[in-house]
Amino acid sequence: MAFIHIPKPWQLPESRATPEAAFWNRRKFIKTLVGAGIGASATALTACGSGGKGGSDIDPGLEKTLGRSLNNFTPNPDFQDAGRPITEQVYASRYNNYYEFGGTKNIWQAAQKLPTDPWTLEVGGLVKNPRKYDLDDLTRRFPLEERVYRFRCVEAWAMVVPWLGFPMAALMADVEPTSAAKFARFTTFFDDQITPGPAWEFALNLPWPYVEGLTIEEMANDLAFFAVGLYGRTLPKQHGAPIRMVVPWKYGFKGGKSIVKIEFLAEQPTTYWNVIAPNEYKFEANVEPDVPHPRWSQATERIVGSGTNPFNWERQDTLIYNGYGDYVADLYA
- Name the residues that contact ligand MTE, by CB under 6 A: 47-48, 96-100, 153, 188, 210, 239-240, 252-253, 255-258
CA 320 to centroid of chain Cα atoms: 18
Residue 87: which residues within 8 A CB-CB, separation 6 or more? 159, 160, 161, 304, 305
Task: Return d(Cα 277, Cα 273) in angstroms, integer.
Answer: 6
Question: Quick one: which of 4, 3, 8, 157 has its CA closest to 82?
Answer: 8
Q: How far apart are CB 117 and ligand MTE at their closest, in Å?
A: 18
Cβ 259 to ligand MTE shortest distance, Å? 8
Q: Residue 183 or residue 189: which is nearer to ligand MTE going by CB?
A: 189
Other CB atoms within 10 A of residue 222 CB: 14
| Measured CA distances, 278 to 45, 48, 282 (Å) | 13, 15, 6
- Transcribe 55-124 into DSSP letters: --SS-HHHHHTS--B--SEEE-GGGS--SSPPPPHHHHTTS---GGG-SSS--TTGGGG---SS-EEEEE
First and final CA of the chain: distance in angstroms?
32
- Comparing CB distances to ligand MTE, the nearer of 48 and 276 is 48
| Rounded least distance, CB 230 to ligand MTE, Å | 8
Q: CB of 178: closest distance to ligand MTE in angstroms?
A: 27
What is the nearest approach in angstroms of ligand MTE to the Cβ of residue 10? Answer: 19
Task: Give 126 or 304: the residue with its C-beta nearer to ligand MTE.
Answer: 304
Please say which residue, 126 or 286, places its beta carbon nearer to ligand MTE. Answer: 286
Considering the complex, what minimum distance in angstroms separates the CB of residue 180 from ligand MTE? 27
**Residue number of the CB atom closest to ligand MTE:** 252
Give the residue with the Cβ less far from ligand MTE, 126 or 165. Answer: 165
Smallest gap from residue 330 Cβ to ligand MTE (A):
26
Give the residue with the Cβ less far from ligand MTE, 73 or 272.
272
Collect contacts of 201-209 with beta carbons under 8 A, ≥24 apart: 201/103, 203/42, 204/42, 204/45, 204/276, 206/99, 206/272, 206/276, 207/270, 207/272, 207/275, 207/276, 208/100, 208/272, 209/272
Of 95 and 126, the one with the shorter C-beta distance to ligand MTE is 95
